Structure formats: C-alpha cells, structure tokens
Structure 1
Amino acid sequence: MADSWAAVMGYDGITVRTILLRTVLMSDNHLTLAKRFWVDDLPGASVTGSRLSNLLETVSHGKSLTALGLRFLTENGLKSLAQFVAGDISESQFLQLAPIEQSYRVAAALERQKTVDQQRQVEREEAEARHAAMMARLHAERLQRESDPKYIARQRNRELRERYGVDGFVDESDFRQLMAILRKLDGAKRLSEEDAVWLKSEGREYATEEILHAHNRLEANYYLGEFRKAGDIWQLVNASGHLRKCDASQEAHDLLNKIQDGALKQAKLKSAVRTTHGGVMRDLGRYNDALQLADEAHRLLPNSFRPCTLLGALNIELGHIALGHDWYSKAEERGAKPGSIESEIRSLLGRMPHEKRDSVIGQLLNIDPVQYSWLRKKPAAKDRRR
C-alpha cells in the first residue's frame, strides 16, 4: 500500500521511511531539527557547522548516512536515532525510545555536571586553604623579620632618608656619617662643626633642601636662644643668617625690626645688622628697603665687602648689571673671594627666568669677557639661598 502510494506520488524506488524523513521542512532551523529528533539537549545539535548538526541536516534531506556517521550517533548516545536512520526501527518505535534515551542523557549530563561542580569546589577550597597557609606563613615571616633589630635599623634608616629627601645612591664610605647627621637632625640636635663642614665638602651631594632646612632651623634656634639669654645682638645677626636659609626671612625681619639704634654702639655691629636686614628685605621682595639698608651698611663700614656683595646682588636682580658688576668688583677689592662671588652670581642666575638670565649673561660678558668667561657655560638652575 505504502509502496503503491509512493509510486503514485512519483517517488519510485524511494521508501516510505525516506518520505517521512523529508517531511522536515528545509526552512526549519537547526534547533527545530534538534527537537524533532530529540537531541536538543546536546549543544552541538543546534550549532551551525557542527558534526551533529550536519548529520541531522543530511537526514532531514532524506539522505543516507555513512557507516562513520552512524557510528558517531551511536558513540554519542543517540542509539535510537542511529537505528531509525538505518531502518532498524520504525518511526513510532523511535518516537517512543528517543525521549527515554534523551532523559537518560540529561540525567547523566546533570550527574556529570554535579561531579564537575563538586570537583571544582574541592579544588577551590584547596586553593583557598593553600592561599591562607601562604598568607599565614608570610605574616609569621614578616612578624619575625620586623622584630629583628637589623631589620628595624634598616627600616629606620630608610624612613630617615625618605624624610630628608635622600632618595639617591649613598656611597658605602659616606653612609655612616650621613645617617649620623640625619639622626641628629631628626632628634633636633645641632650638627657639629665637622658635620657642617662635611655637608659643604665631601657630602655636598647629599645636602638636600630638607637637610639644609632642618640644619639651618636648628642653628637659628640655637643663636636665638643665645640672643635671648644675654641680649647679644651678634647672636641675632647669626640667627638671622640661618633664618634666611630655612625660609624664615619674615621671622628674621620681625626680630631685627625691634632693635633700637641706641643698642648698636659699634659701627661694625650696626653695619652687620643693616647688611643682614637688607638681605632679609631682599628675600621678602622689598628691594628699595634692601638697597637703603645695604647702602647705609656700606657707609657705616666702607672697607667691609659684605655690604658690597649685597649691593651687587640687588642691582643685578633689579637689572642694573653694570652697577652690580661695580659693586662686586668693590667687594673683591675689600677681601671677598672671587670664588664666592662667582658662586653667588651663579645662584642669582639660576633663579632667573630663561630670557632674563640670557640677557644678564650677555651683559656681563660684554662688560668683562675675561672675568666672566665661566658664564659661557650656562649655570644649572638652582633655587636655594646662599
């Protein structure tokens, strides 16, 4: 009956089974195919281009599978589908067996996933236990290390260097003296004369702004204490010099401003006070007051080079280059060392804007190209009062 129906429909030689398989429409998507053949639980069934998807599409077009294709179905738990495609069971038998087979696969997959999840949980717990053990070991090692006197000393040294801006390499031969200086400064103890000289000579590369600031603040405090004890104005002059070097020029001005002229009996002392106060005013940007004080200091003590160097610096800063040169020449005639004048001019230039610095250098070279030949090598910028 079925064969005669097939002949009528023009399907000679094609079995009813093939006709039934072709009832799957070509427009159906892969997921629909997978559901029709009860394999939608398998990920590859609905993925375009996968082995299983290709086999399902072949079957849906009524084509036979190769022995290799049938073996693939069997090995992947699709025994009833393989039997149906091979013609070993009927469609009704397939529709009875396939759902049962699928339920077994789903149950087995869930069991496998459960096993995998359990294994992952075990591995996770083991990893957490290893991590906890490692952290406990590191913590114990850190506690032991931090209680080691040598470690404590190293940490203390590192913190001191950071606090005082010593972040570069320290030569082994300099380390002991440098750390002794840092410990003194940190303990608010004055440096010895030997320490101060070392910072200006062999240890000058370690003389950071933080170190010099702390050193000059301690020196200023010491001389201020001496001044308050006996009222010795020379001690205030010394203190003011150090206050200038630790950014406390306003404090120096407030103290110097209280000194009465009647207390300045000696011309040398009065000149020193005026010179120091002039330098303070220069720091505060009060150049007219600074010039007046420096000029008075020079008139009080014409043979002293100190007022001359101050007048030289002030005039160069104000743009009076030739006049500044003249005052520096007078300072040298009165005993100022050429090296100290050169150092002061370098410091002045280092604080100037680029264009002004180039202009001043050009003018000084025009005034005396021999004396200022060292200016042909431009000075490095610095921002530290000398």
Structure 2
Amino acid sequence: MSNDREVVSRKYHVDDLPGTKLPATRITGILERLQQGEPISQLSLRYLDSQGLLALKKFIMQDIPFDQFHQEAEEEQILRIRKAKLDRIAKEEEARLIEEARQESVRIAQQKSLEKRKALEKTPQYKARMKNRFLRNKYAIDCYIEKIDFHRLMDILRRIDEDNRLFENDLL
C-alpha cells in the first residue's frame, strides 16, 4: 500500500511533500480520491491552494489537460524543492550564528573571569593568604586554627621558615 502511495505521489509530482507517503493525511486522501475518480471537496481544493499545489487543483477542476498539468506540476515541485533547500540553509545558518554568539558569550565570560582572578591575585591580601597556605602545607598544619591564634601561629611559621629565632613567649 505504501508503494502505491509512492507511485501516485510521483505521478502527481507531490512526492517531495512529507505527508504523501503516510496514510490518513490530507494530501494522501485527496490523491486516493483522485485515483479512484471520486469528487474532490471544496475544502480539499482550498487545502491544495494553501499548499501551493495550483497545477493539481487546476487538473482536478479539469481546467488543464494531464500533459499541461505534468509540466506545471513539475515546475511547482522544482520550486518547492528549491525553497525547502533555501529554508534549510537559512535555518542552518541561523543555528550556526546562534552557536557562534553563544561561544562568543562563553569566551567573554571566561575572559572576564580570568581578568578578575588575575586582579585578585595581584592584591596583597591574596598574596598573604597564599603565603599562609603555603606555610601551613609546608609544616603539615591542616587543622582548624582559632582566629585569635592564627596571626601568632603564622608569625611563628614565618620566622621558622626564614630561619629566625623564636621569642621566649612563642615556645611551648
């Protein structure tokens, strides 16, 4: 049955339309009624108009013979295929532009983040924090240090690291 629909859709130059090979679509119903010699409703004729199938409509209404229909329908089909190809290219181009814009946005966000991090790394507070972290890692101090003891401990670690003497009150 599907093979019959394919043959009929090729005969009437509508095989480029997606619904012509599926059962129970409007275009398939129209083509089946046309093949069986049944009358085509006004609603179906308006549908053909809305789909741009003017040659088929003229043929159904017996305004043109089959030879002329064949020529006009072939031209319509070529135009539909070109239009579909142009639409597909336009959609692909639009998708490409959207993707490029998204990538540019990501790149700008990454650049801003990098600049922010570099600016942070230049601050004296950041440098001191990194020096403190280095000293704690070097001397394997990984436990929590109370805020009131932190400065004293870091001062002791700095003096040890620089091979300076500790004060008597720093000894335990």
**TM-score by shorter chain over 0.5:** yes
Matched, 1:36 2:36: no
- Indicate which of 169, 173, 187 corresponds to 2:148: 173
TM-score w.r.t. structure 1 length? Answer: 0.37
The residue aligned with 2:108 is 133
Flag the 1:173–1:92 CA change in 2: closer, same or farther, 3 A.
same
Count of matched residue positions in the alignment of Structure 1 and Structure 2: 171
Asked if the contact 2:15–2:21 (Cα under 8 Å) also holds between the matched residues in 1, the reply is: yes
Any runs of at least 4 consecutive aligned residues in structure 1 with deviations exceeding 6 A, and if so which?
A: 188-193
User: How far apart are residue 111 of structure 1 and its match?
Assistant: 2.4
- Indicate which of 26, 46, 49 corresponds to 1:74: 49
- Give deviations 1:90-139, integer Å, cap 9, x for gaps: 32222121101111111222222333333333333333333333333222
Secondary structure of the residue that 1:28 maps to in structure 2?
helix
The residue aligned with 1:101 is 76
Matched, 1:154 2:129: yes
- Give deviations 1:179-217, integer Å, cap 9, x for gaps: 3354456556787675563xxxxxxxxxxxxxxxxxxxx
The residue aligned with 1:112 is 87
Flag the 1:95–1:155 CA change in 2: closer, same or farther, 3 A.
same
Asked if the contact 2:2–2:21 (Cα under 8 Å) also holds between the matched residues in 1, the reply is: no
User: How far apart are residue 60 of structure 1 and its match?
Assistant: 4.0
Q: Which runs of 5+ in 2 are unaligned?
A: none
Matching of residues 329-344 of structure 1 within 5 Å: none
Secondary structure of the residue that 2:64 maps to in structure 1?
coil
Q: Which has the higher contact order (CA 8 A, sep 6+)?
A: 2
| Matched AA of 1:148 | T
| Matched AA of 2:53 | L
Secondary structure of the residue that 2:14 maps to in structure 1?
coil
Provide the C-alpha distance between the structure 2 equivalents of 1:154 and 1:53, rounded to a whole number of angstroms.
75
TM-score w.r.t. structure 2 length? Answer: 0.72
Provide the C-alpha distance between the structure 1 equivalents of 2:26 and 2:166, rounded to a whole number of angstroms.
86
Q: CA RMSD in A?
A: 3.3
Matching of residues 80-91 of structure 1 within 5 Å: 80-91=55-66
| Matched AA of 1:106 | I
Identity across aligned pairs (percent)?
Answer: 31
Provide the C-alpha distance between the structure 2 equivalents of 1:108 and 1:81, rounded to a whole number of angstroms.
19
Matched, 1:124 2:110: no
Provide the C-alpha distance between the structure 2 equivalents of 1:61 and 1:84, rounded to a whole number of angstroms.
15
The residue aligned with 1:219 is none
User: How far apart are residue 169 of structure 1 and its match?
Assistant: 4.7
Provide the C-alpha distance between the structure 1 equivalents of 2:132 and 2:101, rounded to a whole number of angstroms.
41
Provide the C-alpha distance between the structure 1 equivalents of 2:94 and 2:70, rounded to a whole number of angstroms.
36
- Give deviations 1:45-88, integer Å, cap 9, x for gaps: 33455444454445444444433332222212211123323444
Provide the C-alpha distance between the structure 1 equivalents of 2:113 and 2:44, rounded to a whole number of angstroms.
58
Matching of residues 178-327 of structure 1 within 5 Å: 178-184=153-159, 195=170, 197=172
Flag the 1:179–1:105 CA change in 2: closer, same or farther, 3 A.
same
- Give deviations 1:3-32, integer Å, cap 9, x for gaps: xxxxxxxxxxxxxxxxxxxxxxx5625433
Provide the C-alpha distance between the structure 1 equivalents of 2:28 and 2:144, rounded to a whole number of angstroms.
69
